[in-house]
Amino acid sequence: MFYYILKKEFLLIIRNLHALIVLFVMPTVFIIIMTLALQNTYANKYDVKLSVLLSSETPSLALESFVQTLNSNTFFTFTFTQTTPVVEEALYHQKYDFVLTLSNDFTEKLGKSRDVSMALFSRSDISYQQVAFLKQFLSAKLSEMVIGNLLKMQGIKTQNALNFEEIISNTYVLKDKNTTTVTSVQHSVPSWLIFSMFFILIPISNTFINEKNFGTIDKIRSINVSLSTMMMGKFIPYFVMNQLQVFGMILVGMYLIPLLGGDSLVINGSIFLLMLVSFVVSIAAISFALTIATLSNSSEMATILGGTSNIILAAIGGIMVPKVVMPKFMQDVSEISPMSWALDCFLDIIVKGGSFGDIQFNVMKLLLFALLFFTLACLMLNYRRN
């Protein structure tokens, strides 16, 4: 009997084009877009530099050399102009991100007189962090120049001696394996995979609601079939679909993203732990979906109830915006989302190469979540049966 129940459920899923699009096409598109969009956030250089229009009415060789120094970085492009620019014109018509105006004889007076200043003007859509970063960068370069001049006066060779940035290296450290750098694909694949795994509620609720509305469920109930058989008959096919999603999205990360110019997905941790996490996430997602499906009386209600709750859980769970960029308060809030627990598990394995000990707490929380919602679904079904 069970074989035919599974066969029926699989046929219903594979003939539901909308569900297949939600389960497979949506996460693929999201992974591609978000991986490529977040590439700069995780990389050590930007391919789109912030542009700065630097103006001074008193050009000099020293200033020319200073501008050259400023341009030897990977985040900003400095363009020099001798005329005083109209700031609004430069920012909004010439599309500069910043305008930097130096006081007269800036390089000559620097370190010798208090009569020096730099006026920075930023476009309104530039973030505070970017302004702070530019100010720090300028401050470092000015210090470098002042100290360099002092040392030169003392007859001390300064070449490379002041570029402290070069002597500070950074290495991402894994627990017990070879070292790699974190890439955007390592965040995008698990994030959008989890999101789409929870969207299993669309086909589950469609099938459930159709069974209710078409009277199929009454027919089934008039036959000697236990609730547990029917629940397992629903659980297993969707569990398999979830695992196919995991497999498919990992392949997308490994092979499709590099073809589009992104980094290839590298899994630093154990494949078995990855499988364990994907099993647990799937159980949690299906249990949640079964509850939504049992609660809903129409496909519209399921889509609104399930879709909205999924999007909210994803938004607060660090799926849409990485938790690292969230403020402390929002990071604390994210802890209530099962998607956040799932994401932490996946990131622990994929990025940090973590062990079972690292994920066990979140795995436990996901299993409890699954147990709670599965019990709720069974109780509601049983209540309706009686």
Partner 1 sequence: MAIHIKNLIKKYKNTIVLDHLDLTIKEGSIFGLLGPNGAGKTTLVSILNFLVSKDFGEVQILGYDSDKNEKEIKARSSLVPQSYAFYPTLSAFENLEFFGALYGLTGKVLHTKIDHCLALTSLEKYREARAETFSGGLKRRLNIAIGLLNSPQILYLDEPTVGIDPQSRSYILSVIKNINQIEGTTIVYTSHYMEEIEYLCDDIAILDQGKIVFHETKETINAHSNIAKIHLSDTSTQEVNLQSNYDALVDTFCDIKQKSLHVKEIELPKNNLENIFMSITKKELRD
Q: Closest CB to partner 1 among 127 and 386?
A: 386
77 contacts 112 by C-beta, under 8 angstroms: no
Least separation in angstroms between residue 245's CB and partner 1 is 21
Helix ranges restricted to H, 154-262: 164-167, 184-198, 201-214, 216-221, 227-251, 257-259
**Footprint on residues 201-220 left by partner 1 (CB under 8 A):** 210, 213-216, 218-220
Look at the alpha carbons of 266, 268, 272, 274 in this order and tell me if their dihedral is positive or negative.
negative
**Footprint on residues 296-325 left by partner 1 (CB under 8 A):** none
Interaction mask 153-192, partner 1, x per CB under 8 A: ----------------------------------------
Stretch that binds partner 1, among 8-16, 103-111, 197-205, 262-270 (CB under 8 A): 8-16
Kindly compute the dihedral angle of the four CA atoms of residues 200, 248, 32, 292, in this order, to the nearest 10 degrees: 10
Q: Closest CB to partner 1 among 223 and 259?
A: 223
Phi, then psi, of 45 in degrees rounded to 5: -155, 155
Q: Which residues, including other chains, have CB under 8 Å from residue 209's CB and lie 6 or more apart?
A: 293, 296, 297, 298, 299, 302
CA-wise closest residue to 76 among 123, 3, 138? 138
Work out whether 21 is an interface residue with partner 1 (CB under 8 A): no
Q: Which residues, including other chains, have CB under 8 Å from residue 281's CB and lie 6 or more apart?
A: 194, 197, 242, 342, 345, 366
Q: How far is it, in rounded angstroms, from Cα 185 to Cα 257?
A: 8
| Binds partner 1 by CB under 8 A, chosen from 12, 43, 311, 326 | 12
Stretch that binds partner 1, among 6-14, 29-37, 276-284, 293-301 (CB under 8 A): 6-14
Work out whether 15 is an interface residue with partner 1 (CB under 8 A): yes
- Write the DSSP symbol of residue 98: E
Size of the site for partner 1 (CB under 8 A): 24
Least separation in angstroms between residue 17's CB and partner 1 is 10
Work out whether 226 is an interface residue with partner 1 (CB under 8 A): no
| Binds partner 1 by CB under 8 A, chosen from 159, 160, 178, 222 | 222
Q: Closest CB to partner 1 among 8 and 177?
A: 8
Q: How far is it, in rounded angstroms, from Cα 384 to Cα 339?
A: 30
- Write the DSSP symbol of residue 100: E
Q: Closest CB to partner 1 among 74 and 216?
A: 216
Least separation in angstroms between residue 206's CB and partner 1 is 10
Q: Closest CB to partner 1 among 154 and 226?
A: 226
Least separation in angstroms between residue 21's CB and partner 1 is 16
Least separation in angstroms between residue 383's CB and partner 1 is 12
Q: How far is it, in rounded angstroms, from Cα 53 to Cα 178?
A: 43
336 contacts 159 by C-beta, under 8 angstroms: no
Please, what's the largest Cα pairwise distance for the chain? Answer: 99
Q: Closest CB to partner 1 among 16 and 130?
A: 16
Cβ-based neighbour number of residue 29 at 10 Å? 13
Stretch that binds partner 1, among 12-20, 87-95, 287-295, 338-346 (CB under 8 A): 12-20
Q: Closest CB to partner 1 among 12 and 326?
A: 12
Where do contacts with partner 1 occur on this chain (CB under 8 A)? 1, 3-5, 7-8, 11-12, 15-16, 210, 213-216, 218-225, 386
